[in-house]
Structure 1
Amino acid sequence: MSLEPVDADRRLDVREINGEPFGDIIAALNELEADESLLLINSFEPEPLYDVLEQRGFTYVTANPEPDLWHVEITHA
Protein backbone atom coordinates (compact mmCIF):
# COMPACT_ATOMS: atom_id res chain seq x y z
CA MET A 1 0.00 0.00 0.00
CA SER A 2 1.46 3.35 -0.99
CA LEU A 3 1.17 6.36 1.28
CA GLU A 4 2.22 8.76 -1.46
CA PRO A 5 0.51 12.10 -0.91
CA VAL A 6 -1.81 12.81 -3.80
CA ASP A 7 -1.52 16.55 -3.28
CA ALA A 8 2.27 16.80 -3.82
CA ASP A 9 2.87 19.33 -6.59
CA ARG A 10 6.26 17.98 -7.60
CA ARG A 11 8.10 14.72 -7.11
CA LEU A 12 11.72 13.68 -7.21
CA ASP A 13 12.61 9.99 -7.17
CA VAL A 14 16.28 10.00 -6.19
CA ARG A 15 16.48 6.25 -6.74
CA GLU A 16 16.65 7.11 -10.46
CA ILE A 17 19.65 9.44 -10.06
CA ASN A 18 23.08 8.07 -10.90
CA GLY A 19 25.48 9.20 -8.17
CA GLU A 20 25.01 11.70 -5.36
CA PRO A 21 21.48 13.21 -5.46
CA PHE A 22 22.11 16.17 -3.13
CA GLY A 23 22.52 18.69 -5.96
CA ASP A 24 19.31 17.51 -7.61
CA ILE A 25 17.45 17.78 -4.32
CA ILE A 26 18.68 21.35 -3.70
CA ALA A 27 17.78 22.32 -7.28
CA ALA A 28 14.26 20.95 -6.78
CA LEU A 29 13.92 22.86 -3.49
CA ASN A 30 15.09 26.08 -5.15
CA GLU A 31 12.38 25.69 -7.80
CA LEU A 32 9.64 24.99 -5.25
CA GLU A 33 7.09 27.80 -5.07
CA ALA A 34 5.90 28.97 -1.65
CA ASP A 35 2.57 27.15 -1.96
CA GLU A 36 3.94 23.93 -3.50
CA SER A 37 5.08 20.67 -1.98
CA LEU A 38 7.78 18.28 -3.11
CA LEU A 39 7.58 14.52 -2.69
CA LEU A 40 11.07 13.06 -2.32
CA ILE A 41 11.22 9.31 -2.91
CA ASN A 42 14.23 7.39 -1.64
CA SER A 43 15.32 3.85 -0.80
CA PHE A 44 16.47 4.87 2.71
CA GLU A 45 15.54 7.51 5.25
CA PRO A 46 17.49 10.64 4.25
CA GLU A 47 18.26 11.73 7.81
CA PRO A 48 21.21 13.99 6.90
CA LEU A 49 18.83 16.01 4.71
CA TYR A 50 16.57 16.99 7.61
CA ASP A 51 18.97 19.58 9.06
CA VAL A 52 19.47 21.08 5.59
CA LEU A 53 15.71 21.35 5.11
CA GLU A 54 15.23 23.08 8.46
CA GLN A 55 18.12 25.49 7.80
CA ARG A 56 16.55 26.42 4.45
CA GLY A 57 13.10 27.04 5.95
CA PHE A 58 11.32 23.83 4.99
CA THR A 59 9.20 21.39 6.96
CA TYR A 60 8.82 17.72 6.14
CA VAL A 61 6.74 14.65 6.87
CA THR A 62 8.40 11.27 6.47
CA ALA A 63 6.69 7.96 5.76
CA ASN A 64 8.07 4.45 5.27
CA PRO A 65 5.22 2.74 3.40
CA GLU A 66 7.19 -0.42 2.65
CA PRO A 67 10.73 -1.80 3.16
CA ASP A 68 13.35 0.18 1.23
CA LEU A 69 10.85 2.89 0.29
CA TRP A 70 10.78 6.29 1.97
CA HIS A 71 8.56 9.25 1.14
CA VAL A 72 9.43 12.72 2.39
CA GLU A 73 6.84 15.41 1.69
CA ILE A 74 8.59 18.79 1.85
CA THR A 75 6.89 22.17 2.13
CA HIS A 76 7.95 25.70 2.97
CA ALA A 77 7.68 26.41 6.70
Structure 2
Amino acid sequence: MSLESAEAERRLDVREIDGEPFGDIMAALNELDSGESLLLINSFEPEPFYDVIEDRGFTYETATPEPDVWHVEIEHA
Protein backbone atom coordinates (compact mmCIF):
# COMPACT_ATOMS: atom_id res chain seq x y z
CA MET A 1 0.00 0.00 0.00
CA SER A 2 1.17 3.49 -0.73
CA LEU A 3 -1.07 6.28 0.47
CA GLU A 4 1.42 8.97 -0.45
CA SER A 5 1.06 8.21 -4.15
CA ALA A 6 -2.66 7.40 -3.90
CA GLU A 7 -2.30 4.65 -6.48
CA ALA A 8 -5.40 2.75 -5.42
CA GLU A 9 -7.16 1.02 -8.29
CA ARG A 10 -10.54 2.15 -6.99
CA ARG A 11 -11.72 5.27 -5.16
CA LEU A 12 -14.85 5.92 -3.14
CA ASP A 13 -15.54 9.39 -1.75
CA VAL A 14 -18.21 8.75 0.87
CA ARG A 15 -18.63 12.49 1.41
CA GLU A 16 -20.67 12.41 -1.81
CA ILE A 17 -23.06 9.69 -0.60
CA ASP A 18 -26.42 10.83 0.73
CA GLY A 19 -27.19 8.70 3.76
CA GLU A 20 -25.36 5.78 5.36
CA PRO A 21 -22.35 4.78 3.19
CA PHE A 22 -21.70 1.35 4.76
CA GLY A 23 -23.45 -0.61 1.99
CA ASP A 24 -21.60 1.30 -0.74
CA ILE A 25 -18.26 0.70 0.98
CA MET A 26 -18.88 -3.02 1.45
CA ALA A 27 -20.01 -3.37 -2.18
CA ALA A 28 -16.80 -1.67 -3.34
CA LEU A 29 -14.70 -3.95 -1.13
CA ASN A 30 -16.51 -7.04 -2.42
CA GLU A 31 -15.53 -6.04 -5.97
CA LEU A 32 -11.82 -5.82 -5.14
CA ASP A 33 -9.63 -8.46 -6.73
CA SER A 34 -6.58 -9.77 -4.91
CA GLY A 35 -3.83 -7.16 -5.17
CA GLU A 36 -6.22 -4.26 -5.80
CA SER A 37 -6.88 -1.53 -3.27
CA LEU A 38 -9.69 0.89 -2.52
CA LEU A 39 -9.05 4.48 -1.48
CA LEU A 40 -11.85 5.51 0.86
CA ILE A 41 -12.19 9.29 1.28
CA ASN A 42 -14.09 10.56 4.30
CA SER A 43 -14.56 13.74 6.34
CA PHE A 44 -13.65 11.99 9.61
CA GLU A 45 -11.58 9.02 10.73
CA PRO A 46 -13.87 5.95 10.51
CA GLU A 47 -12.38 4.21 13.56
CA PRO A 48 -15.26 1.77 14.26
CA PHE A 49 -15.03 0.63 10.63
CA TYR A 50 -11.44 -0.60 11.07
CA ASP A 51 -12.49 -3.61 13.14
CA VAL A 52 -15.15 -4.50 10.58
CA ILE A 53 -12.74 -4.54 7.65
CA GLU A 54 -10.05 -6.39 9.61
CA ASP A 55 -12.62 -9.06 10.56
CA ARG A 56 -13.39 -9.44 6.85
CA GLY A 57 -9.77 -10.00 5.88
CA PHE A 58 -8.63 -6.54 4.84
CA THR A 59 -5.74 -4.35 5.91
CA TYR A 60 -5.72 -0.57 5.82
CA GLU A 61 -3.49 2.47 5.99
CA THR A 62 -4.77 5.89 7.02
CA ALA A 63 -3.62 9.43 6.24
CA THR A 64 -4.98 12.96 6.62
CA PRO A 65 -3.80 14.91 3.57
CA GLU A 66 -5.65 18.04 4.66
CA PRO A 67 -7.87 19.18 7.56
CA ASP A 68 -11.16 17.25 7.78
CA VAL A 69 -10.16 14.84 5.00
CA TRP A 70 -9.26 11.25 5.77
CA HIS A 71 -7.87 8.77 3.25
CA VAL A 72 -8.06 5.08 4.09
CA GLU A 73 -6.43 2.74 1.61
CA ILE A 74 -7.87 -0.76 1.98
CA GLU A 75 -6.72 -4.04 0.46
CA HIS A 76 -6.97 -7.78 1.02
CA ALA A 77 -4.70 -9.01 3.82
TM-score for the superposition, normalised by structure 2: 0.92
Shift of 1:4: 5.6
Q: Gapped runs of 5+ residues in structure 1?
A: none
Number of aligned residue pairs: give it. 75
The RMSD of aligned alpha carbons is 1.2
Gap change, CA 1:36 and 1:63, over 3 Å in 2: same
Matched residue SS, 2:19:
coil
Hey, which bits of structure 1, 4+ residues long, moved more than 3 A?
A: 3-6
- The DSSP-based 3-state class of the residue aligned with 1:48 is helix
Q: Which runs of 5+ in 2 are unaligned?
A: none
1:54 aligns with 2:54: yes
Q: Is the 8 A contact 1:42 1:69 kept in 2?
A: yes
1:5-54 deviations in Å (ceiling 9; x for gaps): 33200000000000000000000000011110000000000011100110
Q: TM-score, normalised by structure 1?
A: 0.92
